Amino acid sequence: MLAGLVFFNPASIQVLPDCPFRRYTGLKCPGCGSMRAMHHLLRWEIVKALSSNLLAVLMLPVVSLSLILGTVTGRDLFDRLRRPIFFRVVLIVVMIFFGLRNLI
């Protein structure tokens, strides 16, 4: 899939269906633009990636580091996700991002 994202821009080639949330509400969900962001990241177009989906780009190093630490310590990412405080922080960040991206 990553090889396909390097060569094919998801904005110009309709491979996946449209976001149903955006189709019915007109609002961008927190995941809207993440495929375009990954396409731009794989082509080293950082500014375009950030403009496609800021949250996806900023969370990529966090998730990667968590997976690496999980491999080293023997605990996986889902152990951290099960903690109530971690889940609440992630939920609050996603909701703030959702609100701000639809207001701006």
Residue 21 has a pLDDT of 92
Q: What span, in angstroms and rounded, lies between the C-alpha atoms of 52 and 33?
A: 5
Q: Over 80: is that where the pLDDT of 78 sits?
A: no
Count the helices and strands in the chain (H runs, E runs). 7, 0
Residue 80 has a pLDDT of 67
Helix or strand holding residue 67 (H, E): helix 54-73
- Average confidence score pLDDT of the chain: 85
Q: Residue 77 carries which side chain, given as an amino acid letter?
A: L
* All residues at 6 or more sequence positions from 29 whose CB lies less than 8 Å from its CB, including other chains: 19, 21, 22, 98
Segment 26-70, tens digit of pLDDT? 999 999 999 889 999 999 999 999 999 999 999 998 888 877 877
Q: What is the pTM of this model?
A: 0.78
